[in-house]
Chains A and B, each alone.
Chain A
Amino acid sequence: MKKEITKYYPLIPVFTAYLFLFLVGKNISGMWQLVAMLLFYCAMGQAFNIFLGMTGYVDFGYVAFMGVGTYGMALAITNLAHIEGLGIGIIIIGFILALLMSTLLSMAVGAVALRLRGAYFAIATIGVNEGFRFLIEGARIWNGSEGLIFTAQLNQILGREAASSLMTYWADIMVLFIAALAAFVTLFYMRSKIGYALTALREDEDAAKVMGINVTKYKITAFITSACFAGLVGATSWALKTPYVFPPEVFEIHYTIEAIIIVLLGGAGTLLGPVVGGLIYGISKYYLSIFMPGFQLLIFAPIIIIIIVLFPEGVVGMLKSRTKGSVLARFII
């Protein structure tokens, strides 16, 4: 039993960080907006890390899963708003739909792309978000390029008061829980067979295959899990916080890049990495946008290059090798 508990020690720093964020946002006035943004980045990083970090495969079309998640929630609210007495249940249906849609898309993409490796995988996925966006716009699915706006429906179902507190407060709390859940699942995977299999795969896929590891099965599991969390993040951070969805916005490759930066900055494949990366990235972006608006990308691009060339391990990766053998090592993975 004791061994079971020590297994989950590394969650302590992660959850402490989230609790700290929550307390800062709750008690210091004017901080909630920043905290909400940081939670979004941590959640996105945590979700992305499950696939990118654990397998080493780069999915450039990742944002598509967040996009369909957003659509899942949006579709539930716009189509079911007329049913009396659903109340908060509509949001639960929205989450289920978001999960369903991101799972389906990830299965479809995974079925093709996961047969490919390395550069070929990256090339196959780079068009997923654009492709899906152009399908929605071109075939005029779900209102095409006009998008969906559902502020009125949300007000109608929940009442103006509740809807506004959902947008400004409860949605962020949900993101917090999604991030925490993603961290838990990450650790659960790391500590089980799938984690070892994926480590083997990341080091040498052919050798792993020869050893009799069913690499495809584990790759698909990680891919779908990661996509599901992305869908949930989209459904909350985008659909519930800002009740509208436009195809060019939710399929913007920019978010994939942000997620990659966060994972890399913190340390790919580590549990604490996305939190550290999300905080560093979010805070610097927030203050850069205040002090040097319009220059964030110009500053971030060379930073990524420097990190890749000089610190490929990321912050937590470095911390991990520093603390090796000490008591702290049990908490940082």
Chain B
Amino acid sequence: MFLEQLTGNLIQGIVLGAVYGMATMGLSLIFGVLKVVNVGHGAFIMVGAFVTLWLFNALGINPILAVPVAFAVGMGLGFIFYYTTMQRLIKAPELATLLATFSIGILLEELVKLTFGSEFRGYNWVVGKIDIGVTVLPMSKLYACIGSVIIALLLYLWFNKTRAGSAVRSVVEDSEGARVCGVNVGGAYALSFALGIGLTVASGVLLTMFIPVGINPYMGGGYTLKAFVIAVLGGLSSPYGAFFGGLAFGLIENGSYTLFALIPGVEPFALTRFLSFVMLLAILLIKPTGLLSTK
């Protein structure tokens, strides 16, 4: 009985983990290329959630179709914030970029609150569910999982098969060398930042499939912390590492929840959050380059 429940929860964990992973790829991409930690990461996920909500409730557009829209919105925001703020801070001390991205996050939260209000909202997308014996998976979650895998693959192809992708890779390797070879380094920075934000906003769409009634301007904070744990699991600077880190994190989160629920007199949900914080510290202490990296 318990094993069945655990297996069921772990399967749910993989499905959620794939989406977590995709939601962290943007963070790792931006850190990998620009060496900037986007502390306002969660706020961009929140923007994606509101794009979905608005498209669904106001225009009746299917959340799957909201993914490209959210991606475009994110790219736009990314370019705006890059050229107005980040560009001037690339060479500044970390303090500056950390605070700038944090403030951008607050700005987005407050703007969304001003437009939509601060109450919890949601939408109701009925697509049925699938029973796999140990657990019941809603189709919407399954779509989100598949969508995440497809996006991760597309990013991989973009990096390895296109000119712009190899330009970004060359900047990561050696920005001076890339400049000498005629790569537009500034452009590569801008593109990576925008792409990272675009991926993050798009992931917000997929995450709403897991929290259909939990959409709120301040929903991002929890995701920021989770994204850091996942990014650190995957080595912080590798988007693919982040994807697998997400899978691992989803498994750990759901598995530990099932185990904590066995202890009487505790709040298992809060303990899971505590565990993710302990994991973050432990990984940073033992292997700051990430558990999944070979370096």
Contact = CB atoms under 8 A, between A and B. Distances in A.
Of A123, A137, A145, A268, chain B has the most CB atoms within 10 Å of the CB of A123
Interface in B279-295: 280-281, 284-285, 288
Interface stretch (B10-18, B44-52, B89-97, B188-196): B89-97
A145 B104 contact: no
Interface in B216-258: 221, 224-225, 228-229, 232, 236
Contacts of B22: none
A19 to B, nearest CB: 32
Given A56-B93, A115-B285, A122 B266 contact: no
B110 A301 contact: yes
B277 A134 contact: yes
A305 B267 contact: no
Contacts of A302: 103, 107
Interface residues of B, number: 50
Interface string B93-114: 1111011101110110111001
B277 A130 contact: yes
B278 interface: yes
B161 to A, nearest CB: 30
A116 B284 contact: yes
Given A122-B94, A253-B221, A309-B85, A130 B104 contact: no
B110 A134 contact: no
Contacts of A301: 103-104, 106-107, 110
Interface of A: 52, 56, 58, 60, 112-113, 115-116, 118-120, 122-124, 126-128, 130-131, 134-135, 137-140, 144-145, 253, 257, 260, 264, 268, 295, 297-298, 300-302, 304-305, 308-309, 312
Given A138-B271, A138-B274, A123 B96 contact: no
A135 B260 CA distance: 13
Contact of A139 (B224, B229, B271): B271
Interface string B34-46: 0101010000000
Contact of A304 (B99, B265, B285): B99
Contact of B284 (A120, A144, A257): A120
A137 B31 contact: no
22 contacts: A52-B95, A60-B39, A60-B98, A113-B284, A126-B228, A128-B277, A134-B270, A135-B274, A138-B266, A138-B267, A138-B273, A253-B221, A257-B102, A260-B99, A264-B99, A297-B110, A298-B110, A302-B103, A304-B103, A305-B85, A308-B103, A309-B88
